């Protein structure tokens, strides 16, 4: 296939590009911002992963604007360019996030759940609306609502490893909030699956089938590292250190399940947290 990727230098994008390269596919990196129509002609698929990092800085007003604009306006520009090419790709897989659902209680939620409240939910709604313009142009569009991606190479797990290895890890806040995770290997495979499965469109939760309370994740990570994981990070400290970012991304959470992925025949390499951590950290 001929596949173009926006955000190809990011955590997921670089892993996806490596996988596509290994499979003998032709991969085109899309530059940030403007999209040359010549790069978009004759493609079989486009994967849209661009966007400023969610958890890299405190959510100042300027940072929130950058997070939103880099996703919503970047996606709108890409979709507009795709609509103008003479031979459009058959599929657009556009990133979204389980932040769409906001903070929820203990119930398991799938793609049929309504959107929640908060900054992340608002960004995801606008992000998905921008991507849906591709569907109106006749391109099959998959909205990949990705959970917390686990890999020691970056993201949340890489940030947690130093304190946990030092024996300073533990639950965040109450620890009861949902922690909907997925191994990076399975994210890449799910994106392949979304490209290849012609019957799949609309929102698709890219999460492992066994979400856990955050305190259970902390215990599992401690076991995987043979370290205690009992030192809590109280909610007041999270708010003081991280502000609104901490309130939504660390103290909030939901138990999200991948109903549409599994119903479409996808099988996870790492369905259980203990097995995934053992694989990732060995």
Residue 107 phi, psi (nearest 5): -70, 150
Q: Whole-number mean pLDDT of the chain?
A: 95
**pLDDT (mean) for 263-272:** 97
* Ranges of H-type helices in the chain: 11-22, 37-40, 61-84, 119-131, 133-136, 155-165, 184-196, 214-225, 235-242, 244-245, 259-263, 273-281
Q: Cα 176 from chain centroid?
A: 21
CA-wise closest residue to 104 among 91, 92, 90, 120: 120
Q: What is the pLDDT of residue 37?
A: 80
pLDDT of amino acid 272: 97
The proportion of the chain whose per-residue pLDDT surpasses 70, expressed as a percent, equals 100
**CA–CA distance, 254 with 179 (Å, rounded to integer):** 6
- In the numeric block, the tokens 């890999």 are attached to 151
For domain 2-214+243-281, give its CATH number from 3.20.20.70, 3.40.50.300, 3.40.50.720, 3.40.640.10.
Answer: 3.40.50.720
* Residue 169: band (very low, low, confident or very high) from pLDDT cuts 50, 70, 90: very high
202: left (phi over 0), alpha (psi -120 to 50) or beta: left
Residue 63 pLDDT grade (very low, low, confident, very high; cuts 50, 70, 90): very high
User: Which among 156, 147, 180, 157 has a CA at the least distance from the CA of 281?
Assistant: 157
Q: Which residue has the tokens 């890489």?
A: 158
CB 205 within 8 A of CB 242: no
Give the model's confidence band at 234: pLDDT under 50 very low, under 70 low, under 90 confident, else very high. very high
31-54 tens-digit pLDDT: 887 778 888 999 999 999 999 999
Cα-based angle 224, 204, 47 (whole degrees, multiple of 5): 90
Q: Which of 24, 19, 4 shows the shortest CA–CA distance to 193?
A: 19
pLDDT score for 282 = 84
At 31 the pLDDT is 87
Q: Is 268 helix (H, G, I), strand (E, B) or coil?
A: coil
Question: pLDDT tens for residues 132-151?
Answer: 999 999 999 999 999 999 99
Please state, for a pLDDT cut of 90, what percent of the chain lies above it: 94
Q: Give per-residue pLDDT as tens, 88-128.
A: 999 999 999 999 999 998 999 999 999 999 999 999 999 99
Q: Using CA of residue 159, residue 160, residue 161, residue 164, what is the dihedral sign?
A: positive
Residue 187 contacts residue 147 (beta carbons within 8 Å): no
Q: Give me the residue spans of the domains in the chain.
A: 2-214+243-281
pLDDT band of 56, cuts 50, 70, 90: confident
Question: So what's the pLDDT on residue 33?
Answer: 75
User: Is 90 exceeded by the pLDDT of residue 204?
Assistant: yes
Residue 275 — φ and ψ, nearest 5°?
Answer: -65, -40
CB-based contacts of 112, cutoff 8 Å, min separation 6: 259
């Amino acid at each position: 296939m001929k596949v173009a990727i926006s955000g190809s230098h990011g955590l997921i994008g670089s892993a996806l590009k490596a996988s596509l390269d290994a499979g003998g596919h032709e991969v085109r990196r899309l530059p940030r911002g403007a999209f040359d129509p010549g790069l978009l002609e004759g493609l079989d698929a486009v994967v849209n992963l661009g966007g400023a990092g969610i958890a890299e800085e405190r959510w100042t007003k300027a940072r929130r604007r950058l997070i939103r604009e880099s996703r919503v306006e970047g996606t709108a520009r890409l979709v507009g360019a795709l609509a103008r090419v003479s031979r459009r790709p058959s599929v657009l897989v556009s990133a979204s996030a389980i932040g769409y659902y906001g903070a929820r209680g203990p119930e398991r939620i799938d793609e049929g759940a309504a959107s929640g409240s908060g900054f992340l939910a608002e960004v995801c709604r606008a992000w998905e609306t921008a991507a849906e313009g591709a569907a109106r142009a006749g391109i099959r569009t998959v909205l990949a609502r990705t959970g917390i991606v686990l890999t020691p190479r970056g993201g949340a797990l890489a940030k947690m490893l130093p304190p946990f290895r030092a024996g300073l890890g533990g639950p965040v806040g109450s620890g009861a909030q949902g922690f909907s995770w997925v191994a990076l290997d399975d994210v890449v495979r799910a994106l392949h699956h979304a490209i290849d499965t012609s019957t799949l469109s609309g929102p698709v939760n890219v999460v492992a089938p066994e979400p856990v309370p955050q305190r259970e994740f902390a215990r599992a990570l401690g076991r995987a590292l043979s370290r205690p994981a009992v030192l809590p990070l109280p909610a007041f400290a999270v708010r003081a250190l991280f502000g609104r970012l901490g309130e939504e991304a660390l103290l909030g959470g939901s138990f999200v399940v991948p109903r549409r992925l599994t119903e479409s025949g996808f099988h996870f390499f790492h369905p259980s947290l203990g097995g995934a951590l053992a694989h990732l950290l060995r």
